[in-house]
Amino acid sequence: MTTAILPRTAVAARSYARGVSAGLRRELRELRRSPDRLMALVTAPLLTLVFVAIMLNNGRDDLAPYAVLAPALLVLWQMALQTSGDTVEAERENGSLEALVAAPSSFPAVIAGRILAVTAVSMLGFAESWAVAALVGVRVAIVHPGVFVGALVVTAFATACSALALAALFVRTRAARAFQNTLTYPFYILGGVMVPVEFLPDWIEPLTRLVFLSWSSDLIRQSLLPGPVQGLAEHVVAIVLLGVVSCAIGGFLIRLALREVRESGTIGHA
Amino acid sequence: MPSGEIHGLLGPNGAGKTTLCKILSTVLLPTSGRAEICGYDVVTETAAVRRLIGIVFGGERGLYTRLTARANLEFWAALYGLHGADARRRVDALLERLGLERRADERVETYSRGMKQRLHLARGLIGDPRVLILDEPTIGMDPVAAEDFRWLVTSLRSEGRTILVTTHDMSEAEAICDRVTLIDNGTILATERPSTLGTWITRYARVRASALAPEQVAPVVAAVSEISGVADVREISPGTLLVDTAADGAAPAVLRRLLELGVTDVATTRPDLAEVYLRVIGNRGMRVDR
């Protein structure tokens, strides 16, 4: 039995890796030639200027980590929602979905590769925010660099996983625009992007704990502040766990959507 | 289908040609029935089927237009398990074969429809498929590009590939196919050699006589109607007659008779696929259902 299963597993793993790699490389090439899909990165410096200006005018230099981190997290979520979320539907609209499904590599893997590429590029928002803040004289020190880098890595993972779930949701509901418009501000609030979740009403807190961004924003912020990092393991586990759950839901929904459109004959409908 | 054959799938819009292609390429699941490619079931053994086939859908959609032709093919090559030097060699060979090598590094959005269709074919060939499924590959192409494309397809047969091609164009089917199958409403009506199509086309040719004087119309209609094999004669506009034939040799006899009657503005037209369906298939009764 083991010998029968192993080669199939190996073939599937190879097919998956091939799909991720091909999707990632193609997405990076396309993003280079599609500035319209990178508009979120254009807004990051402007938002940083606004937040930093408000902070300086109110004499609240202590809020610098908040002012600089918020635009970066906004870009991260916006690109997950707008750019990554569109990946499956865009293939459908482009007429390439059928050929992708008929190819030997795993289709969800190709989508995962594309989303990884978008997520990696969206991390540039952090560099932009820090750079713009520095240009106006606000330097935000990274007090715990190890925690900071680790937090960024797990945040990127969870973002990509959430984007996979969003892409699957959008293609199943055929209502991507409606979701993209409604899932921005609620998530900025629940994710503690603009205001730390502890400042929100108590009854909202349980809800915020289901949003990986709330754990991520808290952990990244702690890495920028003096003093020990509270609940490091708890934060990392929560972020990774929420990412894994999103990934599982996304993978399941994509396979389900594919099955449905293959059965209904609507796979090529744009 | 035997291996190494070019098989045409003919049928009007909605006949089920594209649906069949999508089922064979594992893109759609059949509601009933069973199909195999090289012995592999298209529903239960999709992974094996996908490694064996290449599929080309007609039209301009399906390419990544902001990427170059080379980048498009490199992406598909990776999905078919080709990497590094192997992928580069394969991509270069296909670009050269399809005549795209000089513009391989330009964005696909700058390509003509014919070039895009050739790129589609290159994509279909990237995995070196044993079976190639072409769904209306020449749709929208100009005649010269379509002729080039047909030449390319016939050259693939010599490599031992099996090709299933759908088309609306009977002359295209005659030109490239070893056999053709006519389908309608998802049902096979007949499988014939292309020469049979030629017979149908000749048999059901239509003659158009124009510029008849008003006093000529009635005697010409009467004279032509008497010819054996003439199915219908009607005046479609003042001074213009349309003669439908339904037997071998009827069209030349109509032409001769018109000339004898002093009508010199005449032309013959080939029936389109829908007319052949209505008149040939419709008349075959039970035989076409076998």
pLDDT for A23 equals 94
Same domain, B184 and B58: yes
Shortest CA gap A130–chain B (Å): 32
Same domain, B128 and B224: no
For residue A105, give the chain B residue with the closest CA. B79
CB-based contact A104 B50, cutoff 8 Å: yes
Same domain, B147 and B236: no
**Chain B hits for A262, Cβ within 8 Å:** 27-29
CB-based contact A103 B79, cutoff 8 Å: yes
From the list A19, A98, A265, the residue facing B79 with the nearest CB is A19
Low-confidence spans in chain B with pLDDT less than 50: 284-290
The pLDDT tens digits of the residues spanning B111-127 come to: 988 889 889 999 999 99
Indicate which CATH number applies to the domain containing B210: 3.30.70.2030
Chain A residues with CB within 8 Å of chain B CB = 11, 14-15, 18-19, 21-22, 25-26, 29-30, 33-34, 94-96, 98-105, 110, 259, 262-263, 265, 267-268
pLDDT for B37 equals 93
Closest CA to B135 of B28, B36, B243, B221: B28
pLDDT for B287 equals 42
Whether A179 shows a pLDDT value over 80: the answer reads no
CB-based contact A30 B55, cutoff 8 Å: no
Integer Cα distance of A149 and A27 in angstroms = 24
Residues 6 or more apart whose CB falls under 8 angstroms from that of A156 comprise A119, A120, A123
CB-based contact A267 B28, cutoff 8 Å: yes
pLDDT for B173 equals 81
The pLDDT tens digits of the residues spanning A96-128 come to: 988 998 899 888 899 999 999 999 999 999 999
From the list A11, A30, A102, the residue facing B27 with the nearest CB is A102
Mutation for A interface: B74, B75, B83, B107, most A CBs within 10 A: B75
Same domain, B10 and B147: yes
Same domain, B129 and B152: yes
Same domain, B107 and B78: yes
Q: Order of strands across the sheet with B131-135?
A: B53-57, B131-135, B162-167, B6-10, B179-184, B187-192
**Chain A hits for B59, Cβ within 8 Å:** 95
Last-in-domain residue among B164, B199, B234: B199
Same domain, B242 and B183: no
Whether A45 shows a pLDDT value over 90: the answer reads yes
- Positive or negative: CA dihedral A249, A251, A254, A256: negative
- Please tell me whether residue A209 adopts helix, strand or coil conformation: coil
From the list B53, B74, B107, the residue facing A102 with the nearest CB is B53
Integer Cα distance of B150 and B147 in angstroms = 5
Q: How many structural domains compose chain B? A: 2
Same domain, B37 and B173: yes
Same domain, B182 and B216: no
- Count CB pairs under 8 A between chains A and B: 89
- State both tokens at B154: 């016939």
Same domain, B26 and B142: yes
- State which residues form the domain around B68: 6-199
Closest CA to A215 of A129, A128, A157, A143: A157
Q: Is residue B287 part of a domain?
A: no
Indicate which CATH number applies to the domain containing B155: 3.40.50.300
Q: Is residue B279 part of a domain?
A: no
Closest CA to B168 of B156, B154, B153, B184: B184
From the list B27, B75, B78, the residue facing A98 with the nearest CB is B27
Same domain, B72 and B118: yes
Higher per-residue confidence, A179 vs A33 = A33
The residues facing B167 across adjacent strands are B10
Same domain, B152 and B15: yes
The interface pTM score, or ipTM, of the predicted complex is 0.85
